[in-house]
Amino acid sequence: MGAAVTEKHPTGSTPEPITGQGGTADPGAGRERRLTSEELRSHRWWGTEGLRSFSHRARTRQLGYLPEEHIGKPVIAIVNTWSDINPCHQHLRERAEAVKRGVWQAGGFPLEFPVATLSETFQKPTPMLYRNLLSMETEELLRSYPVDGAVLLGGCDKTTPALLMGAASADVPAVFVPAGPMLRGHWRGETLGSGTDMWKYWDERRAGRIGDAELAELECGLARSPGTCMTMGTASTMASVAEVLGVTMPGAAAIPAVDSSHSRMAAAAGRRIVELVWTDARLSRFLTAEAYRDAVATVLALGGSTNAVIHLIAMAGRSRVPLELADFDRIAREVPVLADIRPGGRFLMEDFYYAGGLPALLARLDEDHLHLDRPTVAHATLREQLAGAATHDTEVIRTPDQPLAEQGGLAVLRGNLAPDGAVIKHISAEPRLLKHTGPAVVFDDYRTMQATINEPALEITPDSVLVLRGAGPLGGPGMPEYGMLPIPDYLLKQGVTDMVRLSDARMSGTSYGACVLHIAPESHVGGPLALVNDGDLITLDVAARTLRLEVDDAELARRRAAWRPPEPRYGRGFGALYQEHITQADTGCDFAFLSREGEVPEPHAG
């Protein structure tokens, strides 16, 4: 029972046993004490002599399980975000079966738990409104049931941080299984990237360069299989974050969803979690300050999604690790962009996988930018996990002396328009706009913008700065991905492909353009964005890291005195809970009561 795992993994390496008690082992100290079956958390439900334990055993027999199937074995929760309405997770029913296979093989007892699905494609107003709800569901599920460890199945943008936030708060042994990217798209001889080419060809349609017939063909060629967006959008960015944090099997982040390697990885995760339970290797052992800083460096080297800024700050908060916007900007100045992947580059996740995947990119960064002597769920150290990792295509994964960009593709801006910060993915913007002053054209909400953006009376020019407010954590609500404001049709027809756009919203990780995002504080709570008028000059200077409203302080003070806060949107329900407790973008948009210090007692099971 509880033998060390010895199977091979996607990198071809063999994981070392995680040793120690309480998740604090010295990797060099050799094998230390393992838990006994009586020390398993689930033992308190099934293994005692009281009435409650008798009842629990009787109800387990009702489920059809024999005592020898579960008594004295690690109970593994398979937390599954599969749903009929989530194409990113369409295959996770089958992957759950692969995980179960691995758990059984390693001597554990798997139980599948369906949880909320956050479908980026369909859920309104935005899945971000419900990220913290899924994290709460995950945390309380793992705490309230007889669970010794967990395998977390997900991938669509908000699901990855939500599952890891909940599991980190519960602090149980856990392995994350990313859903994996879908196959590349195809249309008339072109390779398509979901999201990125959606925006591109929708603008082509608006400009009159393609028609309805072409658009109908694109609908059928853009997304061809289960899985997440195959660009370096938020889903693949956060899967990569999970891998570099050390909580996935090696190489898991880039495996295409429908590749047979994905099933093998899921089964390996099922085997591995049993060993992690026996050695009490909880998530807190892996989610350290060094791990989070490595995750920031990896996001920047990938040219990853700006959404990762909010999610990583929230995740680090659950791990009691300080992480701030300033850390992203500092590390961005030190880390080159090595992944030539859309939207910032040319290739797709399938290409990245065959080029060597994340292990190859991390080996390129090496100890100049990573902490290699910290543990992962599969190896005693990240250094061991990356041993033998090779790059098979240096166009997709660049060398440090030939990067896609000398510095990470993200900048943190501050100034009188964003006193608590804003972000821009400048690698995806037209260089001419990275230092720009132009007159503001202001939209108070997204619906108004949709209805009026093409009106000639607004006199929008290529030099205008489009400003959207009322789209932040409270104003959105949920900070929807409205930040890639559309360029007016008449400018698209003139060949304008990028403009400076500002908002307190987020932007899809598959998007591109000179879009300043996450402006904090948001306009809904009286941030300076609420004070901008049409025609005000706004200066963006990425090199100087500044975003400035060119209006004197006295005038801004007059406008502030006249500003009135909007009425609360929700009178009851989850929305009311959300608006009472959500924090701002610069602190991760978590609920204050979830991220603060405080103990949560274990439930009494007897």
Global pTM value = 0.94
CA angle 340, 344, 346 (to 5 degrees): 45
Which residue, chain included where needed, has tokens 């889903």?
Answer: 235
The answer to whether position 404 is within a domain reads no
- The encoded tokens of residue 341 equal 């992947």
Instruction: State whether 470 and 528 are in the same domain.
Output: yes
SS3 183: coil
For residue 3, being part of any structural domain is answered with: no
* Residue 34 DSSP code: P
pLDDT block averages, 10 residues each, the chain of length 606: 34 38 37 88 95 97 97 98 97 98 98 97 96 98 98 98 98 98 94 90 92 95 96 97 98 98 98 98 98 98 97 98 97 96 95 98 92 98 97 97 93 98 95 98 97 97 98 97 96 96 95 96 98 98 98 97 96 97 98 94 92
Q: What is the CATH number of the domain that holds 455?
A: 3.50.30.80
Identify whether 405 is part of a domain: no
CB 284 within 8 A of CB 118: no
Same domain, 57 and 87: no
Asked if the structure places residue 582 within a domain, the reply is: no
Domain boundary among 386, 420, 441: 386
Identify whether residues 516 and 369 lie together within a single domain.
no
Q: Are residues 415 and 536 in the same domain?
A: yes
Query: CA-CA distance, 39 to 148, in Å (whole number)?
Result: 10
Taking residue 66's Cβ as centre, other Cβ atoms within 10 Å add up to 9
Q: Answer whether residue 157 is part of any domain.
A: yes
pLDDT in the model for residue 32: 61
Measured over all CA atoms, what is the biggest interatomic distance in the chain, rounded to whole angstroms? 79
CB 24 within 8 A of CB 285: yes
pLDDT value at position 33? Answer: 82
How many C-beta neighbours within 10 Å does residue 205 have?
Answer: 16
Torsion (CA) 455, 461, 464, 468 in degrees, nearest 10: 20
**In-domain check, residue 416:** yes
Q: Nearest-CA neighbor of 601 among 22, 77, 150, 143?
A: 143
Whether residues 165 and 199 share a domain: the answer is no
Which residue type sits at 162?
Answer: A
Give the three-class secondary structure for 19: coil
The domain boundary residue, chosen from 386, 421, 442 = 386
Host H or E run for residue 300: helix 289-302
Asked whether residue 32 is assigned to any structural domain, the reply reads no
Shared domain check, 322 and 376: yes
Q: Looking at residue 188, what is its pLDDT?
A: 94
| Whether residue 507 sits in one domain with residue 464 | yes
Indicate whether 371 and 334 sit together in one domain: yes
Residues 47 and 88 in one domain: no
pLDDT of residue 12: 36
Number of domains in the chain: 4
- Output the pLDDT for position 409: 86
Q: In 51-127, which ranges are continuous DSSP H helix?
A: 51-62, 67-70, 92-105
The answer on 87 and 125 residing in a single domain is yes
Residue 31's pLDDT is: 56
Amino acid at 255: I
- pLDDT at residue 1, as a whole number: 33
- Domain co-membership, 96 together with 109: yes
Are residues 338 and 364 in contact, defined by beta-carbon separation less than 8 angstroms?
yes
Is the domain of 534 the same as that of 516? Answer: yes
Is residue 336 within 8 Å of 301, Cβ to Cβ?
Answer: yes
Domain ranges, residue 263: 73-183+225-386
pLDDT at 368: 87
Q: How far apart are CA 256 and CA 244, in angstroms?
A: 18
Q: How many CB atoms lie within 10 A of CB 529?
A: 27
The pLDDT, as a whole number, for residue 367 is 85
- Is residue 568 domain-resident? no
Residue 175 confidence (pLDDT): 99
